[in-house]
A and B are shown apart, each in its own frame.
Chain A
Amino acid sequence: MKFAFYPGCVARGAGPELFDSAVAVMDRLGIEWVELTGASCTGAGVLQEKDQKLGDILNIRTLAMAEQLGLPVMTICSTCQGVMAQADRRVRKDADYLEEINGYLAEEGLSYSGNTTVKHLLWVLVEDIGVETLKKTFVKELSGVNLAPFYGCYIVRPSDALGFDENPERQTSLETVIESVGGNVVDFPGKTACCGFPILLINQRNSLRMVANHTGTASELGADAMVTPCPLCHLNLDGYQPKARRQNNRGKADLPIIHLPQLLGLAMGMDAKELGLGKHLVNTKDIVGKVESIPVAS
């Protein structure tokens, strides 16, 4: 199983622990990868506000690079997943538009013909690897660990760009993974809502209210940690949670926010430090301690 790996800007910048833990986990899972080091940022929806076509050119360029390698794209960012899938949907629906976009790529010797796909690691786990095989890579059963899922908008909406009709299991993939490590799913309505990150630098008050609502509700429902496949959600829910909680009087303690690969790594028995769990702004000591106290299955 080999992928053209697109980690996204945050995993390569402000959230290096995501990249490191993903790579460690992918090796254990037997996923081969080659990083698309020449690919651009997806634009994250921000660039698309200014010029959607420009955003589409950049993302179709990334897909064309993968197509040239004969590989599907895999990402570890919900936002990148969604933005690339939206661009892919637009060119698949409109052959003239695809031709126009390819016109911008010709200079580089690139052309896209729709012969690749974009898949988040989360989907690869449930679709390509499968829960039974996945479970065989785990050495610990995280029973008694309460985990709240938090998807990130762009991996759940707009649904028609995300292949939910053909792959309905994607809609509950994060719960499936939490169950596969043996954890309890803490279900709450905010799991598919916005984390507030896109307006953090524009309307911080509203952004932090969202952070406080989601982390506060999950805590009140007994979550030990929240798990997210989106590094942008992680930046907001982790980095700004202490301030959000103070401003909005929500909850007694901060809720650790765990990247998806870090959760897998813990179940695989990897070292918390190696997984970068010490690099979060909300202390992960309690959840790590809880997992470390679970004996490795013989």
Chain B
Amino acid sequence: MNSKLKVSRFDPETMGSGQRRWDEFEMDLHPSATVLDALIQIREEVDGTLALRCACRASICGSCGMRVNGEAKLVCKTRIADVTEEGTTIVIEPMGNHGIIKDLVVSLDPFFDKVRQVDPYLQPDEEPEQGEFVVNNDSMENLLTAMNCIMCGACVSDCTVLEVDEAFIGPAALAKAWRFVEDPRDDQRDERLKELNEVEGGIWDCTRCFKCVEVCPKDVAPMDRIMEMRDMAIEAGNRNTSGYRHTESFSKSVKKHGRLDEARLAVESAGYTNIPRLIDLAEIGVKSVLKGKMPPIVPHKADENEKITRIFERVESERNT
């Protein structure tokens, strides 16, 4: 099929940081060709200076992460026919939230710094009794989701929090943290959760936007792992964050009224002693009232809301036994 590719180019020797140039290529490709096949063909036949990183060509090594039409993908796993129709142009860029070295090649140093930040190794208190740790199969199967991570950086590329805050540990490293929190051979579970709960850029900074779940080529679903760690951190007694207060207040409101009590949620998340934040909220509240809208002081309720309360009570009592 006839395909048009628009490729982002950056040459560190002649261009300043943040600059880029777009090169367009038109080529005839087999319908089953991948974006990587096309890029390699460009490099071999059209422009030998095109820099890209790839190795296994079988979505195992995680080297060829790039943005295709605005979304992070492994280009070896992405067929041309799946991302374009005859006559449309495929836009190929380096991954986002990574520094660019040249053309489509990004620096992964910050990526691995974040992975190192979560101590990605087992920390048992004692040596195993028989020379090796014996664990059951279920506990290892549980880890498979996160262990499937091939460190390609696709989730980091499209993370909406990293876009505004470099300090966020990010989806890949947090999924890696989960893998060690959940490993029965590790004895630092509580310490890990405490750290992830409190550190700047920890588990509470995720916005739950599903971008990482959507772009991960290995179904690691980092966001789901982060949400599980929020619950684990709370269960382990970490209740000193606005994230905890937010979740608790939300849950209490739905349990009691069947609906969300927005005003109370805002105040309780801030914390009753957080005066600057409460003044801030009051400002928005007053402006809303002046515009003729404000969540009712008496919260709105679902009809027969006691039925919803009963479901909460039943699930909670089952969870506690």
Contact = CB atoms under 8 A, between A and B. Distances in A.
B31 interface: no
A157 B209 contact: yes
Interface string A196-235: 1011011111110110010000000000000000000000
A27 to B, nearest CB: 22
B186 to A, nearest CB: 23
B314 A14 contact: no
Contact of A281 (B288, B299, B315): B288
B199 interface: no
A260 to B, nearest CB: 18
A279 B291 CA distance: 5
Nearest to B268: A201
Interface stretch (A46-54, A141-149, A173-181): A46-54
B164 interface: yes
Interface residues of B, number: 64
Interface string A2-30: 00000001101111110000000000000
Contacts of A43: 250, 254
A239 B284 contact: yes
B230 A49 contact: yes
Interface in A99-142: 104, 107-108
Given A38-B302, A53-B315, A153-B209, A16 B293 contact: yes
Nearest to A46: B250
Interface in B33-66: none
B295 interface: yes
B308 A40 contact: yes
Contacts of A12: 259, 300
Given A37-B303, A202-B242, A210-B164, A58 B260 contact: no
Interface of B: 70, 160-161, 163-165, 168, 204-211, 213-214, 227, 230-231, 234, 241-243, 246-247, 250-251, 253-254, 258-262, 265-266, 269-270, 277, 280, 284, 287-288, 291-296, 299-300, 302-305, 307-308, 310-312, 314-315, 319
Interface of A: 9-10, 12-17, 37-41, 43-51, 53-54, 57-58, 61, 104, 107-108, 153-154, 157-159, 189, 193-194, 196, 198-199, 201-207, 209-210, 213, 239-240, 278-281
26 contacts: A14-B288, A38-B258, A38-B304, A39-B258, A40-B254, A41-B254, A41-B302, A44-B260, A46-B246, A47-B250, A47-B251, A50-B231, A50-B251, A104-B315, A108-B307, A153-B207, A154-B210, A198-B207, A198-B209, A199-B204, A199-B207, A202-B243, A206-B205, A210-B160, A210-B163, A210-B164
